[in-house]
Structure 1
Amino acid sequence: MSDAVEVDQDGPVLVITINRPDQRNAVNGAVSRGIAEALDLLDADPDLRAGVLHGAGGTFCAGMDLKAFAAGEPVRDDVRGFAGLVERPPASPLIAAVEGWALGGGFEVVLSCDLVVAARTARFGLPEVKRGLAARGGGVFRLPRRMPYGIAMELIMTGAALEAPRAADFGLVNRLVEEGEALAAAVELAREVAANAPMSVRASKQVASASLDWPVEECFARQREYLEPVFASSDAAEGVAAFREHRDPVWKDR
């Protein structure tokens, strides 16, 4: 793993840290490669069931490292895209733990995660239009799917910042915590997710993501390929047995 990205295992949770605090955790090639490698590990290791992504030093991520980009350094991973994430998020659940700023590509990284825990002092923004650019890391199509359309378009077209309490009001932030507590709260939430059947969680995530553009009349038919294997799994029987026997289930399927 790159020095720009640190990875630690906390039980079933993989904690991924962007570790460039002197550059406000701006994304260069090393960050993209490091996150991509971490997500490959998250998806491949059967002992890992959820991931948490955060930034060192009180800032989540200030977006693309413009100096690296100007110098001609590739700042995206060939498979997962910018920040090793935005074009191919992991199959496993991923939670963003946000302190400080999540700007531009940093906000797009947040939008690529499934859940968001943020400090009350955190701020989000897509300032690309102020610089003659556009949010091409998924921001312009993911944000309107995560927030009311009018609010999302205001942020996209003005480049204005969004404070975490208001983001929570619009449903973008799942849990709002005091400054300095985002990582611990995100790990706690990840443990809640990880306690459930991994196969069920992954399949449910796939349907939730893929079905955004499915015609309503096709949804039941198209979800079968994802969900029928869940009902046929040994974990489905284990879940029922554990409920009847008043014990914690022991999951085996991935």
Structure 2
Amino acid sequence: MSSGIEFAKDGHVARVKLNNPKALNAISPEMDDALLAAWTEIDADPGIWVAVLSASPGKAFCAGADVSAGTDRDGRMALGGGLTGVGGPQYHLRTPLIAAVHGYVIGGGFELAMCADVIVAADDAQFFIPEVKAGIIGEAGIIHRAVRQLPHHVAMGMILTGERLPAAKAGQYGLVNEVVGAGELDAAADRWAAKILAGAPAAVRAAKDAALRGLGMPLDQALTTRYEPIEAYAGTKDQLEGVAAFAGKRKPVWTGR
């Protein structure tokens, strides 16, 4: 991976870390290239069952796009290696993603965190949408995600005032799954990864696919739609193993096949 992104595989877990602390872990075009390469490799590797996104220690998880590195993105991809869908084509990550956030979670960095399936936050995390306070407004992706992932008036209050949402409140409003001490953030992310790894990997991916695709449909359509990953899972070794383990009152042993 290029400078600014660390990528490693740890058993069935892929670890992706933003490492641009001098710029509050803001994402440069080069970092976007590396992130897209990471997401693509993660989805293509059958041995990776869950991914964890974190950032190097410091004041911020991520301050959005690194404007000091240049603003011309050449239409290559959306911010966050394509995850946000802002500034270019969106990449739909099939693998479950956990975001472990700390400090300032600002603008596009806030949006990147909301692209994750699970968010764990250090107790010093502060989420905010600062555009109006700076007298600017551009791509509105963060706004559309905020009003979908927070109570309406909480989101609108943040959007219209630029006020910060502390981690404790984010937990109360359901924006994050867990709030922990800063020194416990990595361990909390690992606990959530272990919970996800306890499920059959193909079933987990199929569940994610159906949940997210169904969000864009009326309920009656979502209920009657056939989801290819769910259908493809039927009759697999892991599906049969789940049935056998349940019947035998034992823990299943997943192979990803």
Q: Return the TM-score normalized by structure 1.
A: 0.91
> Which residue of 191, 203, 206 maps to 1:203?
206
Query: Which residue is equivalent to 1:86?
Result: 84
2: CA distance, partners of 1:172 / 1:144: 11
Shift of 1:224: 4.2
Give secondary structure in 2 for the equivalent of 1:6: strand
Distance 1:137 1:82, change over 3 A: farther
Query: Which residue is equivalent to 2:224?
Result: 221
Amino acid aligned to 2:49:
R
Query: Which residue is equivalent to 2:165?
Result: 162
Contact preservation (8 Å) 2:210, 2:227:
no
2: CA distance, partners of 1:77 / 1:57: 30
Task: State the number of aligned residues.
Answer: 250
Distance 1:200 1:134, change over 3 A: farther
Within 5 Å, which residues of 2 pair with 1:105-124? 105-124=108-127
Contact preservation (8 Å) 1:28, 1:73:
no
Query: Which residue is equivalent to 1:241?
Result: 244
2: CA distance, partners of 1:73 / 1:200: 39
Shift of 1:77: 7.4
> Which residue of 93, 97, 100 maps to 2:100?
97
Distance 1:229 1:8, change over 3 A: same
Structure 2: stretches of 5+ with no match in the other structure: 86-90
State the identity %: 38
Residue 49 (str. 1) matches residue 49 (str. 2):
yes
Q: CA RMSD in A?
A: 1.8
Amino acid aligned to 2:66:
D
Amino acid aligned to 1:239:
G
Give secondary structure in 1 for the equivalent of 2:57: helix
1: CA distance, partners of 2:256 / 2:75: 30
Shift of 1:135: 5.9
Give secondary structure in 2 for the equivalent of 1:27: coil
Residue 127 (str. 1) matches residue 124 (str. 2):
no
Query: Which residue is equivalent to 2:88?
Result: none
Give secondary structure in 2 for the equivalent of 1:133: coil
User: Once the two structures are superposed, what CA deviation does each residue of 1:114-150 show, in whole Å capped at 9, x if it has no partner?
Assistant: 1100011111111112223336262111111111111
2: CA distance, partners of 1:6 / 1:137: 28
Within 5 Å, which residues of 2 pair with 1:23-62? 23-58=23-58, 59-62=60-63
2: CA distance, partners of 1:137 / 1:109: 13
Structure 1: stretches of 5+ with no match in the other structure: none
Contact preservation (8 Å) 2:238, 2:254:
yes
Residue 63 (str. 1) matches residue 64 (str. 2):
yes
2: CA distance, partners of 1:42 / 1:125: 29
